[in-house]
Structure 1
Amino acid sequence: MNQLVNDDLYETRNNLLKEIALLSAAQINNKPDPAKWSIAQVCHHLVLVEESSIKAVAWGLKETESTQRERQKIELILDRSKKIIAPKIVEPDEKPFKVQQIVDLLNSSRDKLMTFLSTVEDESILAKKSMKHPAFGELPLDQWIELLYLHEQRHIEQIKEMKLLLDTKH
């Protein structure tokens, strides 16, 4: 993957890990509202999104015909005033998580992503093929990968807000 995207994936994941590293099990599993996710669930959602994105990109690469689509404005995902409903496949578990368990899941899904990307011999093909994305419709495969760190940045902001709520409770 190009170095810029690699750096963004790495930097964003490090920022996420810093945000959750010092939380207790009670804090990471705290739900400010029964209808909302806990910080652990937000992180589990990110793991599920990363793993399903690997599958989608792999699937897209297997398509024989090039289906180049126009590039989408994927940075719109950073606009948190626009609620996006997560597809069932990337909804997190209800069960509580341990902090280390979440860190391990995040590290594992990122390792799977980087291993998968290292198998793509000609990265230029990623811009030439596309797959249907639940939020953006037909999306070039390279944008699926870029979307991972943008989506993660969106949720880091959410986690920061959730942590502020934790602080006001005590």
Structure 2
Amino acid sequence: MNKLVNDKLYETRNNLVKEITLLSDAQFNGKPDKNKWSIAQVCHHLVLVEEASIKAIAWGLKEVDHTQKDRKNVHLIILDRTKKIKAPKIVEPDVKPFEVQQIIDLLNDSRKKLLTFLSTIEDKSILAEKSVQHPALGELPLDQWIEQIYLHEQRHIEQIKEIKLLLDARH
């Protein structure tokens, strides 16, 4: 994996953890309104997306089809928060409350799984040659699946900041 992607994964995750570390469980699980996710749910969603991405990349690597798919401008799509993207059922967060440390542990665990999995791929160039269907982005090269993990996380860090402001405004 190239250094830039590795740094982005690391930097984005650190920013996420900084945003949530000092929250009380009440703030963490508070919802700005009943139809919105709590910060805890946003974070649980990120864990589920990271785990689903590992499965998708692993599946894509097993595919025989080597046709080069078009590269997408994933950051423009993912970081544009004016466009709502509905989470597929498989990555919808749990409704039960979470503790901050519990989520941090889940985040650490899913990231460790990702990095361990990526370290097993001997020829990283294959990631740019194979692709697999992404629920929001369509057919996506596997290396862009890795990129979308931190971009998606950046998108949700902005959402977390907004939720914090909304929750503060209510008090």
Q: What is the TM-score normalised by the length of structure 2?
A: 0.98
Shift of 1:64: 1.6
Alignment of 1:41-120 (within 5 A): 41-75=41-75, 76-120=77-121
Q: Which residue of 1 aligns with 2:127?
A: 126
State the Cα deviation string for residues 92-140 of structure 1 (Å, max 9, x = none). Answer: 0000000100100100000000000000100000000000000111100
Aligned residues: 170
RMSD over aligned Cα atoms: 0.6
Shift of 1:65: 2.4
Partner Cα separation in structure 1 for residue 44 and residue 145 of structure 2: 18
Q: Which residue of 1 aligns with 2:169?
A: 168
After the TM superposition, which segments of 4 or more aligned residues of structure 1 sit over 3 Å from their partners? none
Shift of 1:73: 1.2
Query: What percentage of aligned pairs have identical amino acids?
Result: 76
Contact kept? 2:69, 2:141, Cα under 8 Å: yes
Partner Cα separation in structure 1 for residue 67 and residue 146 of structure 2: 17
Partner Cα separation in structure 2 for residue 106 and residue 68 of structure 1: 32
Partner Cα separation in structure 1 for residue 156 and residue 111 of structure 2: 16
Q: For 1:61, what is the secondary structure of its paired residue?
A: helix
State the Cα deviation string for residues 2-41 of structure 1 (Å, max 9, x = none). Answer: 1100000000000000000000000000011111100000
